Structure 1
Amino acid sequence: MIPQRIHTYLSIFLTLVVFSSCQKKPVAITQKTKPNPEIRQLIATADKFRASKQLDSAFYYYNKAKINCTPTNPISDYAYCVTNMADIQQTLDDFLGSETTLVKALPLLSSLKNPDSLWKIYTILGTNYSNIYNYDTALSYFYKALYLNTGVVKKLTTKNNIGAVFIKQKKYNACLQLLLPLSSSTSVQESREQYSRLLDNIGFCYFKLEKKEALLYYTKSLEIKSELKDAYQLGKTYYHLAEYYQKNNLPLSIKYAKLSYEKHRNSDCIDQTLKVLAFLIKNDSGKELEKNSITYVKLTDSISEVKQKAKNLFARIKYDSKKEKDENLKLKAQKIKNELQLEGQETRNNISYIIILLTLVLILILYFYLNSRANREKLKATYHSETRISKKLHDELANDVYHAMAFAENRDLSIIENKNNLINSLTDIYSRTTDISKENCPIITDINYIISLKEMISGFNTSNVTIVLSGLDTILWDEIEKTKKINIYRILQELLVNMKKHSKATLIGITIKKTTDVILINYADNGQGIDLKKIGFKNGLQNIENRIATIKGGVTFDSNPKEGFKVFIKLPLYH
C-alpha cells in the first residue's frame, strides 16, 4: 500500500494536472498579412496633419485607421496608429489619456516583433508614468525599452530617460553611476543631441550634490546645444545655469533665466515657460515682477483651457469612432472566436489525453520507486541495528564473560572471597545485559510513556550519580507524535549511557521544554568532559546526531576537558 502522506501528495498532484489540462488554452493561428490600401491612406492623411502640427485632425485619422485594422492587416499598422495617438496626447500633457490609449492596446501588441516600434511604446509609457509621479512603473518600462535590440541612439535616449527618473526620485548618485560611464564613449558622443542631454543630466546631479563639476558639464552641454540650435534644450540648460548661480551671483542667474524664458517662449513650450517665469517672479522686483506675474497668470489660464479642450476632443473622437465601428467589430470578434474555439478544441482534447496518460505513468513510477526505497531503508536500518547490538555485545560482554569463565576454572571457588568475586562479576554482566536489552526493546508511546521515560532515567540514578529532571511533567505528551517520543526516549538514553561509560559525572541536569513549534532539550553534567576538536563524533554521540538529523532537528555539543559536558537539542514538532 502507498503510505498516507505519499497518497495525499499524489492525489493533489493528479488533481492539479487534470484541472490544468481542462483549461482553455489560446491557439495561435498564423495568417499571412498584407497592407490595406484604405488604412494606409488614412495613416498618410494623419501623418500630413501631424507634420503641419494639426494634432486634433491627425489624432482623428490615426484613430479612424486604428479601428479599421483587423486580424488580416499587419499588426504594425495598428501599432503605428496607437503609438502616434498616445504620443499626441502626451505632447499635449494628457498623460493619463496617453497611458490609457497604450495600455488598452498592449494585449493586441504582444505579437509585435519590431524592436523599434516596441521601444517607442515602452518609452511613451515610461514618460507618462514619470509625469504622473509613478516612478517605479516608469522605470520598469524604460528598462524594457533598454533591453530591446535597438541602436546606440535609442539606448542612449533610454538611459537618459532612466537618469531623469532617478533625478526626480532625488537618487543623484544612482543617476551618476548610470550616466558617467557613457560620457566618455565615442559612439555616445557621436549622437550630439543625446550626448548634450546626457551632459546636462550629469551636471544637474553634481549641482544637487553641491559638486563644482556641475558647471563643467553644463558649459559643455550648452556648447553642443548652441551648435545644434535646439531652442527647447538650450532653454533647459539656461534654466539649470540660472539655478546654479542663484545663491552666489543673482544678476548672472537672472540673465540665464531670461535667456531660458526667451528660448522656451520661441519653442512654444508652455510648461517650461511657466517654470522659468515662476523663477523670475521669485527673484525679480519692481516692474519686472509685475510684468512677469501678469504673463504667468495669463499663460496658466490659457494652457489649462487648451489642455482641457484637447482632452475632451480626444475623448469625443474615440467615443464617436468606437460607436460607429462597435457593432461591426463585435460581429468580427465573434466570428474569430468561433473559429478559434473549433480549431482549438481538438488540440486541447489531444493535449488532455497525453497529460493524463503521462501523469498515470509518472504515478506508477513514483509509487514503485518510493516503495522500493522504503524497503531498502528498512533493510538498511535493520542491518545497522543488528550490527550495533552485535558490536555492543562483543565489546562490552564477550571479554568479561571469558574472564569470568577463566576465573572459575583457575580459582578455588570454595574460598569465600573467590566465590564473591565471581558472583559480583556475573552480577555486573547480567546488569549490563539488561541495559542492552532495554536500549533495544520496544518503547511504550501510549499514556504510560512518561512513566516509562522516568523509569529509564531513574535507572541511571545511583548512590554516586544524582539526576535532576525538569519540565518533563509540563508537556502534554499525548499531543506529541509517536516518532518524536521514541526519538526523545532514545536520545536521552544514549546521553545517559555515554555518561555512565565515559564522563564519571556525579551530577546531571536534564531540562525539557516545549514552545509553539519545537521541543528543547538541554543536558549538562559535571563529568570530565571531552575535547571536541580532537574527538570525531563516534558511537553514542554519532547515534544522537543521526537520530536528530532524521527528524530535521538540530544539536550543539559544548565541552572541554575537566569542564563537564553539555548538549543543546532542538526538535521540530511538525516536520
Structure 2
Amino acid sequence: MPKNSFFIFQKRHIVFYLLIFITILASLYAIQFSQAKNLDLHHSKRDRSAEIKQTMEKALTFFDSGKYDSAFLYFNKTQLLCEPKEDYADEYVGSLNYMVEILQRYGDYYEAEVKLIKAFPYLEKTSNKKHATNAYTFMAFNYYYTYNNEKALFYHKKALKNAVSTFRKSRIISEIAFIYMQQGKYQEAVDLLEPIARLKIEDKITPSNTDILRSSKLYNLGLSYFYLGNHKKEALDCFNESLEIGLTLNNEYELIGNYYAFYQYYKKYNNPILKKINAEKAYICAKKARSTTNEINMLAALIEADDAENSKKHSRIYFRMVDSLTISRKKAKNQFADIIYNSKKDKEENLELKNQKAENELQFQRQKNRSYILYVVISISAFVLIFLTLYITHKAKKEKNDAVFKSEMRISDKLQNELTKDIHQILEFTKSNELEDLGNKEKFLSNLNDIYSKTRNISRENSIIHTDHNYGKNLKEMISSYTTSNLNIIINGLNTFSWYKINRAKKITVFRVLQEILDQMKTLNNPSLASITFKKNEKNIFITYTDNGTKVNEEHAILEKRLQNVENRIETIKGTFNFDTNSESGFKISFKFPI
C-alpha cells in the first residue's frame, strides 16, 4: 500500500473535512426548512382585498340606511378577514371604528373601548391618517360618555395632532371647547371658539357639513358666553347667528338645540313669554325629527315654561313617552347584545379552526424537523465513527494517536460549551424516548425552557434598571414591549402615585417580577388580552395581573414550579404572592409589598 494512501486522514485535515461535511448537511437542512416555511406562507397568506372590499361595502350600505345591527355583523366579518392585520391596516382599523360608533349608539362603552384598544397598535400602519383621527375621537367620546372629561380632552388633543384638513381640525377644536364647557372652563372654551366661530370652513368631502359645523360653533360659543356671565348681548348674537344658519339647512334636528338655547336664555333673563315660545318650538322640532330622547327633554322644558293646566297635559305625555322609551331601549339593547354575542361566537369558532389547522401544521413540521435532525446526527456520527475506525486501523503509532486525541480535544474545547451540551442532551432524549408520552413531552419542553431561560436571564438579569424619576416610564415601556398583534396589555394606575420615594431594591424587584410573569404567561398561557393594575394605600402597594388565557389550567403544576422564583423575589421585600387559576374569566396573579 502506498505510503500516502490515507493522506486525507492526517490530523491536520480533520477539522477541514469535518467542517465541509457539516456545512453540506447544514445547507441541506436550511434549504429544506426554507422551502417548508415558504410553502407554509404560500398557503396561509393570500390576497383578501376583493373579499374585504365586498364585505365592507355591504356593511357601509347597512350603516348608511340606519340598519346598525346588520352593519355591525358585516363590519365584524370585515375585521376578521383582515389577516395579517398589518397588510390591511386601513380596512381593519376602519371597520373597528364603525363598530365602535355603533356600540356607542347603543351605550355599550366597555365593548367600544375593547375594540379601540385592538385598533390602536395598527394606527401607525394605516395609509390614511383619518383612521387614527377617528379612533382617537371615538375614544374621547367614550370617556366623555363615561364622565371622564380629562381623558376625553387628552384623546381629542391626540386626534387634533393627527387631523389633516382644516375642516376636521375646526370640528375637533369645537369638541375640545365643548369638553371645557362640561368642566366649567367657559373662558377657555371662549378663547378656543372666538377665532374660528364665524369662519366658513368648507368640508370638501361632504359640503353639507360646512354650515352644520359653523352653526354648531356659534351655538357652543353662545352657550360659553351664556354660562360665563356678563356676556348677555354676545350670547344672544351667537344664538341668533346660529339659528339663522340652521334655518337654511332644512334640518329639524339641528334646530332643536337652537330653540332650546333661547329657552335657557329667556329663562335666565326672566322673559316667560319668549321662554314658552322657544320651548314649544324646540318640542315641535324634536317631534318632526322623530328624536324621542330630545322630544322627552323638550317636553320637560315645556312643562316648566307653560301654565299649570297645560303642564299637566304635557306631564301625562312625558311619563308615557319615558315608559315607552325605556321599554324600547331594553328591547334594542337585548337584541344588540345577541348580535355581539353571535359575532364573538363566530370569531371564537374561526379562531378554533385556525388554531387547529395551525397546530396540525406545526406538529407535522416538528416531526419533519425531528426526523431531519436525527438524520443529520446519525450521518455525522457515522462519518466520525468511520473516520476514527480507519484512522486507528492505519495509524498504529501511539504518538499519532496522542496527536489525534489532542487535536480532537482542542476542537471540542472550542465548539463545546454549556449550551451545546444541553442541546446534545435534548437530541439524545428525542432519539431514545417517545415524545407522544405526556411525561417525556413535559420533560422535553422543560429542558427547552431551561435553555431559553439561560440565554434570556443572561441578557435580562444583567441589564441595568434605572430607578430614578424615569422609573415609571421605563416600567411602562418594558410592559408595553410584550404587546404584539395577538396580545393587548392594558396598564391601569401606574402613574396614579409617585415611585420616586419607593426603595430602589423594591423597584428592581417589581420590574423583575413583572418581567418573569409576562415571560411565563406568554409562554404557557398565550392570552390575547391582559391587564396590569397598580394600587397604593398608606402602607402597601398592590399589583394585580389578569388575562383571558385558559391554557394555564392544564399546566398548573408547571406554572407553580416556574413561578417559585417570582415568589422568592417578593418574599425578599417582605411581600406576599398568590395566584388564581380557577377564575371564570381567565388567570389572575396578585402580590403586595410594604412601602
TM-score, L = length of structure 1: 0.50
Whether the 8 Å CA contact 1:142–1:161 is kept in 2: the answer is yes
Q: How does 1:506-525 map to 2 (within 5 A)?
A: none
CA distance in 2, matches of 1:104, 1:290: 50
Which of 264, 275, 297 is residue 319 of structure 2 equivalent to?
297
Whether the 8 Å CA contact 1:34–1:74 is kept in 2: the answer is no
Whether the 8 Å CA contact 2:93–2:131 is kept in 1: the answer is yes
Larger Rg: 1
CA distance in 1, matches of 2:78, 2:290: 29
Which of 132, 138, 141 is residue 146 of structure 2 equivalent to?
132
Q: Does residue 67 in structure 1 map to residue 80 in structure 2?
A: yes
Which of 177, 184, 191 is residue 163 of structure 1 equivalent to?
177
After superposition, the C-alpha distances for 1:115-174 in whole angstroms (9 at most, x for unaligned) are: 111111222221222122111111111111111142011111111111111111111111
Which of 44, 52, 56 is residue 43 of structure 1 equivalent to?
56
Q: How does 1:90-489 map to 2 (within 5 A)?
A: 90-109=104-123, 111-183=125-197, 185=199, 187=201, 191-210=210-229, 211-212=231-232, 213-247=234-268, 248-330=270-352, 332=354, 335=358
1:179, distance to aligned residue in structure 2 (A): 1.1
Whichever residue aligns with residue 194 of structure 1, its letter is: L
CA distance in 1, matches of 2:259, 2:302: 13
CA distance in 2, matches of 1:259, 1:219: 15
1:203, distance to aligned residue in structure 2 (A): 0.5
1:252, distance to aligned residue in structure 2 (A): 0.6
Whichever residue aligns with residue 158 of structure 1, its letter is: I
1:271, distance to aligned residue in structure 2 (A): 2.4
1:96, distance to aligned residue in structure 2 (A): 4.1
Assess, with a 3 A threshold, how the Cα gap between structure 1 residues 299 and 107 changes in structure 2: closer, same or farther.
Answer: farther
Identity among equivalent pairs (%): 33
Q: Which residue of 2 aligns with 1:378?
A: none
CA distance in 1, matches of 2:46, 2:101: 26
TM-score, L = length of structure 2: 0.49
Q: Say which SS state the counterpart of residue 224 (structure 1) adopts.
A: helix
Unaligned runs of 5+ in 2: 1-40, 367-448, 465-595
Q: Which residue of 2 aligns with 1:57?
A: 70
Q: How does 1:502-541 map to 2 (within 5 A)?
A: none
1:217, distance to aligned residue in structure 2 (A): 0.7
Assess, with a 3 A threshold, how the Cα gap between structure 1 residues 287 and 309 changes in structure 2: closer, same or farther.
Answer: same
Q: Say which SS state the counterpart of residue 147 (structure 2) adopts.
A: coil
CA distance in 2, matches of 1:94, 1:231: 27
CA distance in 1, matches of 2:217, 2:323: 33
Whichever residue aligns with residue 193 of structure 2, its letter is: L
1:284, distance to aligned residue in structure 2 (A): 2.0
Whether the 8 Å CA contact 2:56–2:74 is kept in 1: the answer is yes
Whichever residue aligns with residue 67 of structure 2, its letter is: Q
Whichever residue aligns with residue 198 of structure 1, its letter is: K
1:199, distance to aligned residue in structure 2 (A): 0.7
1:62, distance to aligned residue in structure 2 (A): 1.7
Unaligned runs of 5+ in 1: 1-28, 361-575
Assess, with a 3 A threshold, how the Cα gap between structure 1 residues 265 and 95 changes in structure 2: closer, same or farther.
Answer: farther
Assess, with a 3 A threshold, how the Cα gap between structure 1 residues 167 and 34 changes in structure 2: closer, same or farther.
Answer: farther
Whichever residue aligns with residue 313 of structure 2, its letter is: K
Whether the 8 Å CA contact 1:63–1:318 is kept in 2: the answer is no
Q: Say which SS state the counterpart of residue 342 (structure 2) adopts.
A: helix
CA distance in 2, matches of 1:92, 1:318: 11
Whether the 8 Å CA contact 2:123–2:131 is kept in 1: the answer is no
Q: Does residue 87 in structure 1 map to residue 109 in structure 2?
A: no
Is the deviation greater in 138-147 or in 88-97?
88-97
Q: Say which SS state the counterpart of residue 70 (structure 1) adopts.
A: coil
Is the deviation greater in 215-224 or in 271-280?
271-280
Q: Which residue of 1 aligns with 2:90?
A: 76
Whether the 8 Å CA contact 2:186–2:227 is kept in 1: the answer is yes
1:196, distance to aligned residue in structure 2 (A): 1.3
1:291, distance to aligned residue in structure 2 (A): 2.5
Whether the 8 Å CA contact 2:226–2:265 is kept in 1: the answer is yes
Whichever residue aligns with residue 192 of structure 2, its letter is: L
Whichever residue aligns with residue 50 of structure 1, its letter is: F
Aligned residue pairs total 323
1:184, distance to aligned residue in structure 2 (A): 5.2
CA distance in 1, matches of 2:61, 2:201: 33
1:214, distance to aligned residue in structure 2 (A): 0.4
Is the deviation greater in 57-66 or in 200-209?
57-66
Whether the 8 Å CA contact 2:257–2:282 is kept in 1: the answer is yes
CA distance in 1, matches of 2:300, 2:110: 25
Whichever residue aligns with residue 51 of structure 2, its letter is: E
Whether the 8 Å CA contact 2:140–2:152 is kept in 1: the answer is yes
1:230, distance to aligned residue in structure 2 (A): 2.5
Assess, with a 3 A threshold, how the Cα gap between structure 1 residues 268 and 176 changes in structure 2: closer, same or farther.
Answer: same
Assess, with a 3 A threshold, how the Cα gap between structure 1 residues 97 and 237 changes in structure 2: closer, same or farther.
Answer: farther
Whether the 8 Å CA contact 1:126–1:142 is kept in 2: the answer is yes
Q: Say which SS state the counterpart of residue 79 (structure 1) adopts.
A: helix
CA distance in 1, matches of 2:223, 2:111: 30
CA distance in 2, matches of 1:33, 1:134: 43
1:330, distance to aligned residue in structure 2 (A): 4.8
Whether the 8 Å CA contact 2:223–2:261 is kept in 1: the answer is yes
1:40, distance to aligned residue in structure 2 (A): 2.4
1:266, distance to aligned residue in structure 2 (A): 1.9
Assess, with a 3 A threshold, how the Cα gap between structure 1 residues 76 and 314 changes in structure 2: closer, same or farther.
Answer: farther
CA distance in 1, matches of 2:173, 2:53: 34
CA distance in 2, matches of 1:115, 1:94: 26
Whether the 8 Å CA contact 1:156–1:188 is kept in 2: the answer is no
CA distance in 1, matches of 2:326, 2:111: 16
1:205, distance to aligned residue in structure 2 (A): 0.9
1:353, distance to aligned residue in structure 2 (A): 13
Whichever residue aligns with residue 300 of structure 1, its letter is: V
After superposition, the C-alpha distances for 1:463-514 in whole angstroms (9 at most, x for unaligned) are: xxxxxxxxxxxxxxxxxxxxxxxxxxxxxxxxxxxxxxxxxxxxxxxxxxxx
Q: Say which SS state the counterpart of residue 229 (structure 1) adopts.
A: coil
Assess, with a 3 A threshold, how the Cα gap between structure 1 residues 103 and 312 changes in structure 2: closer, same or farther.
Answer: farther
CA distance in 2, matches of 1:146, 1:249: 40
Q: Say which SS state the counterpart of residue 74 (structure 1) adopts.
A: helix
Whether the 8 Å CA contact 2:59–2:70 is kept in 1: the answer is yes
CA distance in 2, matches of 1:306, 1:140: 34
Whether the 8 Å CA contact 1:59–1:314 is kept in 2: the answer is no
Whichever residue aligns with residue 206 of structure 1, its letter is: Y
